[in-house]
Amino acid sequence: MSGPAAGTAAAATTTDVVCLGESMVTFLPSQPGRLADVPSFGRGIGGAESNVACALAAAGHRAAWVGRVGADGFGDHLVETIASYGVDTSAVRRDPARPTGVYFRTAADRGTATHEVAYYRAGSAASAMSPENVPYEALFAGRVLHLSGITAALSPDCLALLRELTAPRPGRPLVSFDVNHRPHLWRGRAEDASVLLELARRADLVFVGEDEAEEAWGIVGAEAIRAALPEPSVLVVKRGSAGATVFASELRPGPRGAEAAAGTAAPAASTDTAAPAASAGTAAPATSADTVTPVPALRVDVVAAVGAGDAFAAGFLSATLRGLPVRDRARHGHLMAAAVLTVPGDLTDPPSRDRADRLVALDDVAWGRLRLAPGWTAADRAPEEVRTP
């Protein structure tokens, strides 16, 4: 079966979130230093979309990952490991002619000059994904379809696929899109990162960092980003240590397809009480159709700044599926990100839902006092929890 129309007609919504993208085997260094000096590496997995699927499944949601891997041992490892988190991998395709991608990285923060990463993904099985060879029935079987700009950068066929999946059509699931600008993936391509703006404008929920919006599009500041992206019902602008600003409006019915999910997956407008001046986490109206909710980040003792953006997206989506207010969605995103920031790899167990809900319910002062260190998700109650409902 091929083509989105056929898939949409047959799809049954039995999954909360379907994530499409490349996952790779990642080799993590045994010690800090240059790649040339690291004596050995431990094997893990990494991939923006599969990270989101694993985090959502660990948080108790029905998540599926759709991708393409080689018919090799690394492909076996990826599928088995992702499935071990409770993710449905039944729609993953195996490619006998192309390998599974792998990469090596250093322990340094991605944003620092000492960070190194060596990708071996050119010609990978995932780069061969196209509108002609993906299982549309599986892709449209969820309440939410989560995509990222990384997939668009893998190959012209992958870009064509994302254009197909974000095209407006009745019955389309709510489309979540994480811009995930990776400059090195666009080098030598006929297209440039401006296509990420095109894709984002066709999505219902968008995640983008202030830094990547400036680098990819030359757009500076959250308000300017919203002006460039007026179409998504929910726009999350990530601002690093400053937190996140969420622009939310009512889901718009029409051919974009979001009306199919409006009642279940994404009650987008905040239920927080508006105030004349937006204090931390308080929604203030930007226009008659939009609310702006700034949500401060947490103080975290960072072990490795890798995978935090994916974890934030998972936390936000998890709370969206539960119908929580906008502020609480962003706070759940911050907590999921903090869980990953305090471990060496891309994935970890999230805090229990009860624990996360208690922390999310803290008032602004108590939220601002939180400081999370390695091991915090395993503790029943952090000393910093000074007020809980």
Q: Provide the annotated active-site residues.
A: 310
- What's the DSSP call for residue 258? G
Collapsing DSSP to helix, strand or coil, 164 comes out as helix
Collapsing DSSP to helix, strand or coil, 213 comes out as helix
> Quick one: tokens of 299?
């103080």
Is 340 in contact with 351 (CB distance < 8 Å)? Answer: no
> Quick one: tokens of 105?
């990285």
Please report, for residues 31, 47, 87, 202, 269, the alpha-carbon distance to residue 20 in angstroms, rounded to integers and kept in the order given. Answer: 32, 10, 12, 16, 26
Of the candidates 114, 51, 124, the one whose C-alpha atom is nearest the C-alpha of residue 87 is 51
Strand partners of residue 30: none
> Quick one: tokens of 51?
């990270």
Is 76 in contact with 47 (CB distance < 8 Å)? Answer: no
Give the integer Cα–Cα distance in Å for 282 and 35: 45
Give the integer Cα–Cα distance in Å for 297 and 168: 34
Is 346 in contact with 384 (CB distance < 8 Å)? Answer: no
Question: DSSP readout, 117-150?
Answer: EEEE-TT-SGGG--TTTS-HHHHTSEEEEEEEHH
By CB atoms closer than 10 A (0-12, 13-18, 19+), residue 92 is buried
74 backbone dihedrals φ, ψ, rounded to 5°: -65, -40
Please report, for residues 65, 245, 295, 296, the alpha-carbon distance to residue 241 in angstroms, rounded to integers and kept in the order given. Answer: 30, 12, 11, 8
For residue 292, the surrounding DSSP H or E stretch is strand 290-295
Dihedral-angle region of residue 257 (phi above 0 means left; psi in -120 to 50 means alpha; beta otherwise):
left
